Every structure is written in C-alpha cells, then in structure tokens.
C-alpha cells in the first residue's frame, strides 16, 4: 500500500496496480467516517465507511465492489489491425473524504490502475509474466500485455530479431498479429523499453500486490504459429483471469440439442367452426418449448502449460465464437469438473452453450 498524510489523517491507499476481483483497500486510524468515490469510464460510485474500535476508530475499507460496479460491460470490438488498449484495464480516481476523531475533515485524491481480473493468492500466479501462446494464422489474433507506460516491444522471426512495435502508454494492450513477421514458425517477443512490469500477490497484512523488481524483463512471450487449414473446427476467444484476450482453435464434437417444455395447456375453441374439415377444436392442446444447443469442443493433446492457458475459458464470463461470416458471437460455457492428469499430453474438452435458438409460442 501507498500512503499520504494530511494535517490529521494518514491515509493508506491501494498500490499503483490493482485487480478488480482482489482486495482494493484503504485504511486510516483515528477516523470516524470515510466516504470514497471511485471514478472511471465517465461514471462514479460512492460508499461510506465507519470507524471501528473503542479508541483508535480504525477504518479498513475494501472498495472492490465499487471498482467492479464501474465496469458495466466489456467492449470486445477489437481492431485487429491496431495495437490498441482494451477495456480490461483503466486508471481509476478515488476521492476520499475522511473525518478525524477531532471532527476535522480532510480530502484526498488518489488513483490506481485497475485490471479487470484477479490473481490467485498463492504467490505463484504471475501477472504479465512470460507466456507461450499459439496463433492459428487463418484467424484473427492479438497478444495481450500490460504496459506501465509508453515503450516498445521487439519481435523476432524464429530466432532472428526483426522489428519494434510501439506501445502508446499505460494500459492493457491487444497487440495485433500483424506484428508477427511473415513466414515465421514462431516469434519471440521482448520487452525493449522496460514497461511490461510483472506483479504477484503479496500476502502481507494489507492484501495488496507487489511489482517484481525494477529491471526490465526481456523475453515476455513466445508465439507459435500454426498455418495449417483445418475442417470441423470452432475458434473461440475469451478473457482470462488476468484481463487478457486469449484464443484457441478447437475440434468440434457432435452437437447436443436439448428441449424443455415451458408451457403446456388445453385450448378449447367452442366457437362455430366447420366440423367437416375434420379438426376437433374442442379438445386442442398447445405447447411451448425452449431449445438449448450444447457443442462439445476439444483441444487435443496439449501439454500442461497450454492446458493451464486454455482452462481459463472454463471460468471466463466473456467467451466469443468466430462465425463463418467473420463475426464474433457471444456464447457460454457449461459448468463442470475438469481433471488434469500427470500425463505429458492430454485432451482438454469443454462444452460450449451456443446462442439460444428462438422457438414459436402462442
């Protein structure tokens, strides 16, 4: 945590980099009340907290609920030809009005960069660390990075360094696959300007996060390029727990179609009708059904590293499927149990809930 002091109150406030689904905490002692207004995306939300204790009236405020409320939705309309920041990260301003036990009120204005994601509090989950991903070259693709400021990243063609790409400033960036050199079997991506900082969960009393070191990280990503053309596949995109857009090309399995009755009633029509037409209106029944299609998909024979990469689709609230028309459509993931074995390679299978099929009803 960082801190700043007024005449009466010392305010401890979140680090420069935080995560919306982990604690985002403020703390101060000898404080009767604290009103915090969080602002981002042109919106503001406010909450008031009261001091506890018999003498020091300490306030410990976790504002992750306020932070999460500022994200009404995530814009998934990416420009695949540009290296633009995404909506999965934003600088949020916090206006803090705190009243000291002496009845003096002081105001503080601070800010933090908040990632729409979370870290596992086991100390092993590294944000923005080295990753290995795969680009299926027939499909749109981006590489996700967090940058603490303007800088450059360097791309190789196999082992040969090729060119730089610029990062405009602080943010969560989706870097275009156009930066990968033509003809590359794989590309090594390097942080050239030292702006791609890492972070891990710091399980100290303040429940915040710690950036790892001050030196620039060098190798930040390896992108394997698959230029094969496949049949009977489905291409999916999702946002992982760290707020990055991820992609994978899955094999299709047989679609499972389930229907359920949502209405069943008798509809007698005793008004005059022509009985000679042979239709008995007096004992008619009507039904209405809902239809849900489930598409099992498989990533065959992936290693443990790629299994972990793909597994985040199982908990992502934002999953999209690429259509034959070149558009993305939102889909869901069926909840279930996944067993990762000790085998070097194993299949990853997940059930995709396809968009609802409309049905008629009376």
Task: Give yes or no: residues 146 and 58 share one domain.
Answer: no
Count each helix (H run) and each strand (E run) in the chain, helices first. Answer: 2, 26
Token pair, residue 141, equals 């693709």
**pLDDT at res. 73:** 86
- Give the residue-averaged pLDDT of 168-185: 94
- Whether residue 27 is predicted with pLDDT greater than 90 in this model: the reply is yes
- Whether residue 66 is predicted with pLDDT greater than 50 in this model: the reply is yes
Task: Give yes or no: residues 181 and 129 share one domain.
Answer: yes
- Whether residue 282 is predicted with pLDDT greater than 80 in this model: the reply is no
Task: Give yes or no: residues 192 and 104 share one domain.
Answer: no
**pLDDT at res. 124:** 76
**pLDDT at res. 57:** 85
**pLDDT at res. 274:** 57
Token pair, residue 145, equals 């990075």
Strand order in the sheet with 151-157: 131-136, 219-226, 186-191, 151-157, 160-167
**pLDDT at res. 277:** 55
Work out the mean pLDDT of the chain and round it to a whole number. Answer: 87
Strand pairing category for 131-136 and 219-226:
parallel
**pLDDT at res. 287:** 75
Q: Annotate 301-316 with b (16+ C-beta within 10 A) or e (fewer).
A: ebeeebbebbbbbbeb
Task: Give yes or no: residues 65 and 103 share one domain.
Answer: yes
Separation between Cα atoms, residue 22 and residue 112, nearest integer Å? 14
Confidence of residue 1 (pLDDT cuts 50, 70, 90): confident
**In the listed set 97, 115, 133, which residue is the last one of a domain according to the structure?**
115
Task: Give yes or no: residues 89 and 148 share one domain.
Answer: no
> 362 or 224, which is more confident?
224
pLDDT in tens, 75-108: 899 999 999 999 999 999 999 999 999 999 999 9
- Whether residue 168 is predicted with pLDDT greater than 80 in this model: the reply is yes
Separation between Cα atoms, residue 216 and residue 212, nearest integer Å? 10
How many CB atoms are located within 10 Å of the residue 254 CB?
8
Q: CA-CA-CA-CA torsion for 12, 16, 22, 25, nearest 10 degrees?
A: 10
DSSP secondary structure letter of residue 305: H
Look up the CATH number of the domain holding residue 52: 2.60.40
pLDDT in tens, 219-256: 899 999 999 999 999 999 999 999 999 999 999 998 88
Task: Give yes or no: residues 175 and 193 share one domain.
Answer: yes
pLDDT in tens, 322-340: 999 999 999 999 998 888 8
Token pair, residue 15, equals 């680090």
- Give the residue-averaged pLDDT of 174-184: 94
- Return the residue matching tokens 């945590």: 1
> Global pTM?
0.86
**pLDDT at res. 358:** 77
Confidence of residue 268 (pLDDT cuts 50, 70, 90): low
**In the listed set 76, 100, 115, which residue is the last one of a domain according to the structure?**
115
**In the listed set 168, 201, 228, which residue is the last one of a domain according to the structure?**
228
pLDDT in tens, 118-165: 998 777 788 888 999 999 999 999 999 999 888 888 899 999 888 888
Task: Give yes or no: residues 273 and 310 share one domain.
Answer: yes
Contact criterion met (CB below 8 Å) for 21 and 125 = no
Task: Give yes or no: residues 147 and 24 share one domain.
Answer: no
- Whether residue 272 is predicted with pLDDT greater than 60 in this model: the reply is no
Grouping H, G, I as helix, E, B as strand and the rest as coil, residue 286 is strand
DSSP secondary structure letter of residue 67: H
Grouping H, G, I as helix, E, B as strand and the rest as coil, residue 80 is coil
Contact criterion met (CB below 8 Å) for 41 and 20 = no
Confidence of residue 357 (pLDDT cuts 50, 70, 90): confident
Contact criterion met (CB below 8 Å) for 125 and 144 = no
Number of domains in the chain: 3
Residue in 169, 153, 175, 163 with CA at minimum distance from that of residue 219: 153
> 282 or 80, which is more confident?
80
Task: Give yes or no: residues 14 and 69 share one domain.
Answer: yes
The residue range of the domain holding 178 is: 119-228
- Terminal C-alpha separation, the chain: 60
Task: Give yes or no: residues 192 and 76 share one domain.
Answer: no
Task: Give yes or no: residues 238 and 352 share one domain.
Answer: yes
Task: Give yes or no: residues 270 and 354 share one domain.
Answer: yes
> 127 or 38, which is more confident?
38
- Return the residue matching tokens 């000790």: 342
């Amino acid at each position: 945590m960082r801190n700043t002091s007024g005449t009466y109150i010392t305010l401890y406030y979140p680090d420069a980099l935080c995560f919306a689904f982990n604690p985002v905490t403020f703390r101060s002692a000898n404080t009767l009340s604290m009103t915090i207004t969080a602002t981002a995306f042109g919106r503001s939300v406010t909450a008031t907290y009261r001091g506890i204790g018999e003498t020091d009236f300490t306030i410990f405020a976790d504002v992750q609920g306020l932070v999460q409320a500022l994200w009404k939705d995530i814009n998934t309309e990416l420009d695949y030809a540009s290296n633009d920041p995404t909506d999965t990260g934003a600088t949020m301003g916090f206006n803090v009005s705190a009243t000291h036990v002496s009845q003096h009120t002081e105001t503080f204005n601070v800010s933090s960069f908040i990632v729409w994601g979370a870290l596992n509090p086991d100390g092993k989950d590294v944000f923005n660390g080295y990753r290995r991903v795969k680009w299926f070259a027939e499909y749109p693709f981006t590489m996700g990075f967090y940058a603490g400021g303007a800088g450059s990243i360097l791309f190789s063609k196999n082992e040969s360094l090729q060119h730089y790409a610029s990062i405009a400033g602080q943010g969560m960036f989706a870097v275009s696959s156009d930066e990968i050199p033509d003809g590359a079997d794989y590309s090594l991506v390097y942080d050239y300007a030292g702006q791609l900082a890492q972070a891990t969960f710091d399980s100290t009393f303040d429940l915040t996060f710690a950036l790892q070191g001050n030196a620039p990280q060098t190798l930040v990503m390896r992108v394997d390029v698959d230029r094969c053309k496949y049949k009977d596949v489905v291409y999916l995109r999702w946002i992982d727990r760290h707020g990055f857009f991820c992609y994978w090309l899955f094999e299709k399995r047989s679609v499972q179609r389930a229907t359920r009755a949502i209405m069943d009633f008798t509809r007698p029509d005793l008004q005059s009708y022509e009985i000679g037409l042979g239709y008995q209106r007096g004992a008619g029944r009507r039904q209405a059904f809902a239809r849900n299609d489930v598409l099992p998909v498989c990533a065959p024979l992936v290693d443990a590293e790629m299994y972990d990469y793909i597994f985040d689709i199982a908990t992502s609230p934002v999953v999209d499927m690429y259509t034959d028309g070149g558009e993305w459509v939102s889909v869901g993931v069926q909840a279930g149990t996944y067993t990762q074995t000790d085998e070097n390679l194993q299949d990853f299978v997940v059930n995709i809930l396809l968009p609802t099929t409309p049905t008629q009803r009376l």
